Structure 1
Amino acid sequence: MLHCPRTVARTIVYSGIFLATGVSTVLAADPTGDWKVADGVANIRVAQCSGNMWGVVAWEKTPGGKDKNNPDTAKQSRPTLGMPILIDMKKKPGVDAWEGEVYNAKDGQLYSSTIKPVGADQLEIQGCVLGFLCGGETWTRVGPPIPSSPSNSMAKGAPKAAPGAPPKTAAPAAPPKTTGAVNPAPAPKAAPGQKQAAGQPADIGDICLLPDIARFAH
Structure 2
Amino acid sequence: MRIKDISRTILGLVVLCGGFAHAAGALARADDALGHWSTPARHGVVDITTCGQSVCGHLQSSDAINANADARDTHNANATLRSQPLKGLAMLTGFVRADNGWTGGTIYNPEDGHTYRATMTLSGANTLIVKGCVIWPLCKTQTWQRIR
Q: Structure 1's 118 and 26: CA in aligned 2 closer, same or farther, altered over 3 A?
A: farther
User: Which residue in the other structure is 1:55 paired with?
Assistant: 57
Paired position in structure 2 for 1:103 = 108
Report the number of matched residues.
Answer: 124
Gaps of 5+ in 1: 1-14, 144-218
Structure whose residues are more often helix by fraction: 2
**Structure 1 match to 2:73:** 67
1:122 aligns with 2:127: yes
Q: In the alignment, what sits opposite 2:96?
A: 90
Q: Which has more strand, going by share of residues?
A: 2
Contact 2:90/2:108 (<8 A) preserved: yes
TM-score, normalized by length of structure 1? Answer: 0.51
Partner deviation per Cα, 1:107-158 (whole Å, 9 max, x = no partner): 1111110011111111110011022321111111012xxxxxxxxxxxxxxx
Q: Is the 8 A contact 1:28 1:119 kept in 2?
A: no
Give, as a single letter, the amino acid of the residue that structure 1 aligns with 2:48: V
Unmatched 5+ stretches in structure 2: 1-16
Q: Distance in 1 between matches of 2:72 and 2:41?
A: 18
Write the letter of the residue equivalent to 1:74: T
CA RMSD in angstroms comes to 2.5
Which residue among 36, 39, 53 is the counterpart of 2:38? Answer: 36
Question: In 1, Cα distance between the equivalents of 2:135 and 2:60?
Answer: 28
Please report the TM-score for the alignment, with normalisation by the length of structure 2: 0.73
